[in-house]
Chain A
Amino acid sequence: MKREPDTPMGTVVLIAIFLIMTVVLWFNAYFIVLSRGAN
Protein backbone atom coordinates (compact mmCIF):
# COMPACT_ATOMS: atom_id res chain seq x y z
CA MET A 1 0.00 0.00 0.00
CA LYS A 2 1.37 3.39 -1.01
CA ARG A 3 1.96 5.69 1.98
CA GLU A 4 1.21 9.41 1.67
CA PRO A 5 4.32 11.49 2.42
CA ASP A 6 4.22 13.58 5.61
CA THR A 7 3.63 17.31 5.20
CA PRO A 8 6.92 19.13 5.85
CA MET A 9 5.55 21.51 8.49
CA GLY A 10 8.90 23.26 9.00
CA THR A 11 8.95 24.24 5.33
CA VAL A 12 5.32 25.36 5.51
CA VAL A 13 6.10 27.59 8.50
CA LEU A 14 9.14 29.10 6.74
CA ILE A 15 7.08 29.81 3.61
CA ALA A 16 4.35 31.39 5.76
CA ILE A 17 6.94 33.68 7.39
CA PHE A 18 8.37 34.50 3.96
CA LEU A 19 4.90 35.35 2.64
CA ILE A 20 4.01 37.55 5.60
CA MET A 21 7.35 39.39 5.39
CA THR A 22 6.93 39.90 1.63
CA VAL A 23 3.45 41.38 2.02
CA VAL A 24 4.34 43.56 5.04
CA LEU A 25 7.55 44.97 3.51
CA TRP A 26 5.92 45.49 0.10
CA PHE A 27 3.02 47.49 1.56
CA ASN A 28 5.38 49.35 3.88
CA ALA A 29 7.30 50.64 0.84
CA TYR A 30 4.03 51.21 -1.02
CA PHE A 31 2.55 53.44 1.69
CA ILE A 32 5.83 55.37 2.07
CA VAL A 33 5.68 56.20 -1.65
CA LEU A 34 1.99 57.18 -1.35
CA SER A 35 2.67 59.37 1.70
CA ARG A 36 5.28 61.35 -0.27
CA GLY A 37 2.64 62.40 -2.75
CA ALA A 38 2.21 62.43 -6.48
CA ASN A 39 4.86 63.39 -8.96
Chain B
Amino acid sequence: MSDQSHETEHHSAGGEQDSMTVHEENSIHVEKWEGIWIRIAVGMTVVFIAAITIAALSFGISVPGATARVNPATLNEPGSPFANPGIRELAPGKYEVYMVAQTWNFVPDRLEVPQGSEVTFYLTSRDVTHGIKLAGTNVNMMALPGQVSTLKATFDEAGTFNYICHEYCGYVAGAPIGHHTMYGQLTVLPADGTSETAQVTE
Protein backbone atom coordinates (compact mmCIF):
# COMPACT_ATOMS: atom_id res chain seq x y z
CA MET B 1 0.00 0.00 0.00
CA SER B 2 1.39 3.40 -0.95
CA ASP B 3 1.97 6.25 1.53
CA GLN B 4 -0.64 8.34 -0.24
CA SER B 5 -3.41 5.78 0.10
CA HIS B 6 -2.29 5.07 3.68
CA GLU B 7 -2.65 8.75 4.53
CA THR B 8 -6.06 9.01 2.84
CA GLU B 9 -7.30 6.00 4.72
CA HIS B 10 -6.31 7.54 8.04
CA HIS B 11 -7.85 10.87 7.08
CA SER B 12 -11.19 9.37 6.21
CA ALA B 13 -11.26 7.08 9.23
CA GLY B 14 -9.94 9.24 12.06
CA GLY B 15 -10.14 12.85 10.92
CA GLU B 16 -7.57 15.62 10.63
CA GLN B 17 -5.48 14.72 13.69
CA ASP B 18 -4.68 11.24 12.43
CA SER B 19 -3.69 12.68 9.09
CA MET B 20 -1.19 15.03 10.77
CA THR B 21 0.30 12.18 12.75
CA VAL B 22 0.96 10.25 9.57
CA HIS B 23 2.59 13.34 8.02
CA GLU B 24 4.98 13.66 10.97
CA GLU B 25 5.90 9.99 10.81
CA ASN B 26 6.75 10.22 7.11
CA SER B 27 8.78 13.46 7.26
CA ILE B 28 12.46 13.65 8.18
CA HIS B 29 13.02 15.41 11.47
CA VAL B 30 16.10 17.66 11.38
CA GLU B 31 17.37 19.08 14.65
CA LYS B 32 17.87 22.85 14.77
CA TRP B 33 21.69 22.73 15.05
CA GLU B 34 21.92 19.93 12.51
CA GLY B 35 19.97 22.10 10.05
CA ILE B 36 22.28 25.04 10.69
CA TRP B 37 25.33 22.82 10.13
CA ILE B 38 23.92 21.46 6.84
CA ARG B 39 23.19 24.99 5.58
CA ILE B 40 26.69 26.23 6.50
CA ALA B 41 28.38 23.20 4.91
CA VAL B 42 26.42 23.62 1.67
CA GLY B 43 27.07 27.40 1.70
CA MET B 44 30.82 26.90 2.19
CA THR B 45 30.96 24.38 -0.65
CA VAL B 46 29.16 26.79 -2.98
CA VAL B 47 31.48 29.69 -2.00
CA PHE B 48 34.64 27.57 -2.45
CA ILE B 49 33.55 26.29 -5.88
CA ALA B 50 32.63 29.85 -6.93
CA ALA B 51 36.04 31.14 -5.79
CA ILE B 52 37.88 28.42 -7.74
CA THR B 53 35.77 29.16 -10.83
CA ILE B 54 36.53 32.89 -10.57
CA ALA B 55 40.27 32.15 -10.16
CA ALA B 56 40.23 29.92 -13.24
CA LEU B 57 38.14 32.15 -15.51
CA SER B 58 39.17 35.65 -14.39
CA PHE B 59 42.76 35.15 -13.21
CA GLY B 60 43.87 32.27 -15.44
CA ILE B 61 44.84 29.97 -12.55
CA SER B 62 44.72 26.40 -13.73
CA VAL B 63 46.14 22.99 -12.98
CA PRO B 64 48.96 21.71 -15.21
CA GLY B 65 47.87 19.70 -18.19
CA ALA B 66 49.15 16.65 -20.01
CA THR B 67 50.04 17.81 -23.50
CA ALA B 68 51.48 14.69 -25.06
CA ARG B 69 52.61 11.12 -24.65
CA VAL B 70 56.23 10.08 -24.92
CA ASN B 71 57.99 6.75 -24.68
CA PRO B 72 60.31 6.89 -21.66
CA ALA B 73 62.59 4.30 -23.30
CA THR B 74 63.30 6.55 -26.29
CA LEU B 75 63.84 9.91 -24.60
CA ASN B 76 67.46 10.07 -25.76
CA GLU B 77 66.78 9.20 -29.39
CA PRO B 78 67.32 11.88 -32.04
CA GLY B 79 64.11 13.73 -32.76
CA SER B 80 62.89 13.51 -29.19
CA PRO B 81 62.54 16.98 -27.65
CA PHE B 82 63.94 15.48 -24.46
CA ALA B 83 67.14 14.24 -26.14
CA ASN B 84 68.79 17.54 -25.22
CA PRO B 85 66.89 18.76 -22.16
CA GLY B 86 67.45 22.37 -21.25
CA ILE B 87 66.21 25.90 -21.76
CA ARG B 88 65.60 27.43 -25.18
CA GLU B 89 64.81 31.03 -26.03
CA LEU B 90 61.87 31.24 -28.41
CA ALA B 91 61.70 35.04 -28.54
CA PRO B 92 62.89 37.90 -26.34
CA GLY B 93 61.41 37.21 -22.91
CA LYS B 94 59.89 33.88 -23.94
CA TYR B 95 61.53 30.57 -23.08
CA GLU B 96 60.72 26.89 -23.05
CA VAL B 97 62.26 24.34 -20.74
CA TYR B 98 62.40 20.65 -21.57
CA MET B 99 63.13 18.83 -18.33
CA VAL B 100 63.60 15.16 -17.49
CA ALA B 101 63.05 13.90 -13.97
CA GLN B 102 64.88 10.71 -13.12
CA THR B 103 66.19 8.91 -10.05
CA TRP B 104 67.49 11.10 -8.44
CA ASN B 105 68.01 14.37 -10.23
CA PHE B 106 66.46 16.82 -12.64
CA VAL B 107 68.02 17.42 -16.04
CA PRO B 108 68.75 20.31 -16.16
CA ASP B 109 69.21 21.13 -12.49
CA ARG B 110 70.29 24.75 -13.09
CA LEU B 111 68.23 27.30 -14.99
CA GLU B 112 68.67 31.03 -15.58
CA VAL B 113 66.14 33.42 -17.06
CA PRO B 114 65.93 37.21 -17.14
CA GLN B 115 63.40 38.97 -14.94
CA GLY B 116 59.97 39.21 -16.54
CA SER B 117 60.44 36.08 -18.64
CA GLU B 118 57.57 33.83 -19.60
CA VAL B 119 58.67 30.23 -19.32
CA THR B 120 56.81 27.15 -20.53
CA PHE B 121 57.87 23.97 -18.78
CA TYR B 122 57.66 20.56 -20.45
CA LEU B 123 58.35 17.78 -17.99
CA THR B 124 58.47 14.02 -18.16
CA SER B 125 59.97 11.18 -16.18
CA ARG B 126 62.49 8.64 -17.38
CA ASP B 127 61.66 6.00 -14.78
CA VAL B 128 59.27 6.30 -11.85
CA THR B 129 56.74 8.89 -10.74
CA HIS B 130 58.34 12.18 -9.70
CA GLY B 131 57.04 15.68 -9.09
CA ILE B 132 58.34 19.21 -9.22
CA LYS B 133 57.62 22.13 -6.95
CA LEU B 134 59.26 25.47 -7.63
CA ALA B 135 59.23 27.05 -4.19
CA GLY B 136 57.47 30.39 -3.91
CA THR B 137 55.69 30.05 -7.25
CA ASN B 138 52.65 28.29 -8.66
CA VAL B 139 54.86 25.84 -10.60
CA ASN B 140 53.83 22.48 -9.18
CA MET B 141 53.20 19.41 -11.30
CA MET B 142 53.70 15.68 -11.59
CA ALA B 143 56.33 13.99 -13.72
CA LEU B 144 54.95 10.71 -14.97
CA PRO B 145 56.75 8.23 -17.24
CA GLY B 146 55.04 8.31 -20.62
CA GLN B 147 53.38 11.69 -20.13
CA VAL B 148 54.54 15.23 -20.90
CA SER B 149 53.24 17.66 -18.27
CA THR B 150 53.24 21.33 -19.14
CA LEU B 151 52.79 24.58 -17.32
CA LYS B 152 53.51 28.23 -18.09
CA ALA B 153 54.86 30.72 -15.55
CA THR B 154 56.04 34.33 -15.62
CA PHE B 155 58.88 35.36 -13.34
CA ASP B 156 58.48 39.03 -12.46
CA GLU B 157 60.66 38.98 -9.35
CA ALA B 158 64.41 38.50 -9.44
CA GLY B 159 65.81 35.88 -7.14
CA THR B 160 66.80 32.27 -6.74
CA PHE B 161 64.10 29.64 -6.57
CA ASN B 162 64.79 26.05 -5.57
CA TYR B 163 62.84 23.25 -7.15
CA ILE B 164 62.41 19.90 -5.49
CA CYS B 165 60.84 16.52 -6.17
CA HIS B 166 57.70 16.34 -4.08
CA GLU B 167 56.74 12.78 -4.93
CA TYR B 168 58.62 10.18 -2.92
CA CYS B 169 60.75 8.23 -5.41
CA GLY B 170 62.98 5.98 -3.33
CA TYR B 171 66.61 5.93 -2.23
CA VAL B 172 69.71 3.77 -2.20
CA ALA B 173 70.11 2.02 1.15
CA GLY B 174 73.31 3.15 2.82
CA ALA B 175 74.12 5.75 0.17
CA PRO B 176 73.57 9.49 0.54
CA ILE B 177 71.40 9.73 -2.57
CA GLY B 178 67.69 9.39 -3.02
CA HIS B 179 64.50 11.36 -3.21
CA HIS B 180 65.75 13.89 -0.66
CA THR B 181 68.72 14.87 -2.85
CA MET B 182 66.62 15.49 -5.96
CA TYR B 183 66.51 19.24 -6.44
CA GLY B 184 67.56 22.07 -8.73
CA GLN B 185 67.69 25.83 -8.84
CA LEU B 186 66.19 28.48 -11.09
CA THR B 187 67.77 31.92 -11.04
CA VAL B 188 65.82 34.93 -12.23
CA LEU B 189 68.38 37.54 -13.21
CA PRO B 190 67.51 41.17 -12.43
CA ALA B 191 66.49 43.21 -15.44
CA ASP B 192 69.04 45.93 -14.58
CA GLY B 193 71.91 43.46 -14.61
CA THR B 194 72.72 43.63 -10.89
CA SER B 195 72.56 40.69 -8.53
CA GLU B 196 72.05 42.56 -5.25
CA THR B 197 68.30 42.03 -5.34
CA ALA B 198 68.61 38.29 -5.62
CA GLN B 199 67.11 36.39 -2.74
CA VAL B 200 67.02 32.76 -1.86
CA THR B 201 63.63 31.13 -1.49
CA GLU B 202 63.65 28.07 0.71
Main secondary structure of the interface of A (DSSP, over half): helix
Residues of B with C-beta under 8 A to A39 = 60-62, 64, 138-139, 151-153
Across the interface, do A38 and B59 meet the contact criterion of CB distance under 8 Å? yes
Select from chain B the residue with minimum beta-carbon distance to A5.
Answer: B31
Task: Give, as a whole number of angstroms, the nearest-CB distance from A13 to chain B.
Answer: 12
8 Å CB contacts to A: which residues of B132-174?
136-139, 151-154, 156
Q: What is the size, in residues, of chain B's interface with A at 8 Å between Cβ atoms? A: 22
Task: Give, as a whole number of angstroms, the nearest-CB distance from B194 to chain A.
Answer: 23
8 Å CB contacts to B: which residues of A1-39?
7, 12, 15, 19, 22-23, 26-27, 30, 33-34, 36-39
Residues of B with C-beta under 8 A to A7 = 32-33
Task: Give, as a whole number of angstroms, the nearest-CB distance from A21 to chain B.
Answer: 12
Task: Give, as a whole number of angstroms, the nearest-CB distance from B163 to chain A.
Answer: 14
Residues of B with C-beta under 8 A to A23 = 44
Residues of A at under 8 Å CB distance from B?
Answer: 7, 12, 15, 19, 22-23, 26-27, 30, 33-34, 36-39
Besides the known contacts A19-B44, A27-B51, A38-B154, 8 further A-B residue pairs in the complex with CB atoms under 8 A apart: A22-B44, A23-B44, A30-B55, A33-B61, A36-B136, A37-B156, A38-B59, A39-B152
Name 9 interchain pairs, CB-CB below 8 A, sorted by A. Answer: A19-B40, A23-B44, A30-B55, A36-B137, A36-B138, A37-B138, A37-B153, A38-B60, A38-B61
